[in-house]
Chain A
Amino acid sequence: MRARPVILIPFIWLGLFFLAPLLIVVRLAFSESAQARPPYRPVFSWSDGFATWIDKIQAFGLDNFELLLSEPLYGDALLSSVRLAALGTALVLVLAYPIAYAIAKAPRDKRLFLLTLIVVPFWTSFLIRIYAWIALLKPEGLINHMLMQMGWIRAPLPLFGNDLAIVIGIAYSYLPFMVLPLYATLEKLDWSLEEAARDLGATRMRAFWRVTFPQTHRGIIAGILLVFVPALGEFIIPDLLGGSDTLMIGKVLWSEFFNNRDWPLAAAIAVALLIAMAVPLAILRNVETEGTR
């Protein structure tokens, strides 16, 4: 058979613009840092020749990773990212489940419309959607303004520039990512099972928790990972909604790169983030292969 351009062209593209950059990041993570531009000195270079390569492999630069481990800032940033992403994911789940459930229970001809309604905001600019919350959450923002006008509070609530704002931001921007997989599993459910449970004497609540909810675990896991993984590396949300003391790994990477111009360290952070992501992604893969069986 012919060597097919249909395969070859995208294959070469992906190799050049996905695989090669990723390998460069990994390689750079093991380089020594320098302040020149480009601000890094590669460990390997073609002009060195093979013998010096071996020397260099023996002296392989783990400096960046040592720094990551020794400097508490980075460990804290990673832990804080995991914590905020987890909190945000939990909030998304609580918000998304009733929505997905309601759509699945809606009349068949209205479901697609409702689903589109949930997804449409995802199309509008991420930046603008986060920006919208600045105006809402700020001390002089709309929520505090209204609450004070109504006399419910005297001083503005601390809604902005802290972890709460980040969690709200994550919940808001990733809601469709949770609604879609939950809806997909709920929609396939056999509702007569819930009716059977009620027929056997369960209340509506008990029927839901004992029969419906356990059957949707696959959608829940898929949704959690679809929200958690990208939230982990989030930059815009902590940067615009978080405070100056907010730590998230994406923000740290950004500032190492743009402010400190320490490219190798930024690359090392990227590799650490990649490893942190690999765990939940492996779980997702297992869930998905289980689903196809």
Chain B
Amino acid sequence: MRMSRFNIVSLVFGIAFLYLPILLVVIYSFNASKLVTVWGGFSGQWYRALLSNKPLLDAAWVSFRIALVSATGAAILGTLAALALRRYRRFRGRGLFAFMLYAPLVLPEIMTGLSLLLLFVALGWDRGFWTVTLAHMAFTIAFVALVVDARLADLDPSYEEAARDLGATPLSAFMRVTLPMIAPAIIAGFLLAFTLSLDDLVIASFTSGPGATTLPMRLYGQMRLGVTPEINAASTVMIVSVTLIVIIVSWLSKRRPA
């Protein structure tokens, strides 16, 4: 089927609209000039500046640790939640369970952030690394569950039955057959949770405390002051790392077992 000219123009325009702004951020991160609109020649100086920007590096380290821990937690809980909904079609409170699981997908971040902060205050927990981590788990579980559930939905139940028939206990059948088969989805969910955590500004702003300033919080503080090539450089680093993660995820989802 040949595509009409109109369709090709739509696609080119759409993709340009999506990518050009990001591309400009990357290009101007190599700009020797401090001005955003004037090209002053190629330079890597902003990346060197980045390396000596201690607060920014600290924030990046905090963000990375939070993302790692919260994505791990979200991957485990999200997988459990997806299994619960898929395996048990009837249990008390299943409707409530599904609602609570998926509602954060549409809840504005500002509400998730505010409500979690109030919980931590009510519990008397000091705000910091762990509160941000828990908050990020709370809002990324839904995404993991969504990805894992999609995989479980087209997993033929015969596989697990065959394992049981061949002498595997329910636990063994899950570990030896089901888990390896849904592993790509769990990893994809983990990486999705990881990037969402890395990216989050609003929820972290509510739930963070002294000493736990995340990278988006730090960047946001600088962005409010204006556009600088150094932010462009930091953004480029983030864009490149996320792009790598996306490539890994799409590779993982492509080699899902039939």
Q: Which residues of A contact B206 (CB under 8 A)?
A: 257
Q: Which residues of B contact A175 (CB under 8 A)?
A: 14, 17-18
* A19 and B10 alpha carbons, distance in the complex (Å): 43
Q: Does chain A have a CB within 8 A of B175?
A: no
Q: Are A172 and B17 in contact (CB under 8 A)?
A: yes
Query: 0/1 per residue, B15-36, Cβ < 8 Å to A?
Result: 1011101101100100000001
In the complex, number of A-B residue pairs with CB atoms less than 8 Å apart? 214
Tell me which of B21, B119, B235 contacts A136 (CB under 8 A).
B21
Q: Which of B178-214 contact A (CB under 8 A)?
A: 195, 198-199, 201-202, 205-206
* A239 and B220 alpha carbons, distance in the complex (Å): 10
With A10-B101, A128-B239 known as contacts, the answer to whether A38 contacts B121 (CB < 8 A) is yes
Q: Which residues of A contact B88 (CB under 8 A)?
A: 4, 6-7
Q: Are A230 and B118 in contact (CB under 8 A)?
A: no
Which residue of chain B lies nearest to A97 when distances are taken between CB atoms in the complex?
B10
Query: 0/1 per residue, B229-254, Cβ < 8 Å to A?
Result: 00100010011001101100010000
Tell me which of A14, A134, A142 contacts B223 (CB under 8 A).
A134
Listed stretches B40-48, B52-60, B108-116, B149-157; interface member: B108-116
Which residue of chain A lies nearest to B115 when distances are taken between CB atoms in the complex?
A21
Q: Does chain A have a CB within 8 A of B166?
A: no
Q: Are A281 and B238 in contact (CB under 8 A)?
A: no
Q: Which residues of A contact B18 (CB under 8 A)?
A: 118, 121, 172, 175
Q: Which of A1-49 contact B (CB under 8 A)?
A: 4-7, 9-11, 13-22, 24-25, 28, 38
Q: Does chain A have a CB within 8 A of B158?
A: no
Q: Are A273 and B242 in contact (CB under 8 A)?
A: no
Give the distance to chain A from B136, nearest Cβ to Cβ, in Å.
Answer: 11
Q: Which of B139-182 contact A (CB under 8 A)?
A: 141
Interface residues of B, count at CB 8 A: 72
Q: Does chain A have a CB within 8 A of B224?
A: yes
Secondary structure dominating the interface of B: helix
Tell me which of A17, A95, A106, A138 contacts B14 (CB under 8 A).
A95
Tell me which of B97, B101, B104, B202 contacts A236 (CB under 8 A).
B202
Q: Does chain B have a CB within 8 A of A65?
A: no
Q: Does chain A have a CB within 8 A of B258?
A: no
Interface residues of A, count at CB 8 A: 81
Tell me which of B17, B109, B227, B250 contacts A131 (CB under 8 A).
B227
* A19 and B119 alpha carbons, distance in the complex (Å): 10
Q: Are A125 and B202 in contact (CB under 8 A)?
A: no
Which residue of chain B lies nearest to A16 when distances are taken between CB atoms in the complex?
B119
* A267 and B21 alpha carbons, distance in the complex (Å): 35
Chain B residues at the A interface, C-beta cutoff of 8 Å = 1, 3-4, 6-8, 10-11, 14-15, 17-19, 21-22, 24-25, 28, 36-37, 77, 80-81, 83-84, 87-88, 91, 93, 97, 100-101, 103-104, 106, 108-111, 114-116, 118-119, 121-122, 134, 137-138, 141, 195, 198-199, 201-202, 205-206, 216, 219-220, 223-224, 227, 231, 235, 238-239, 242-243, 245-246, 250
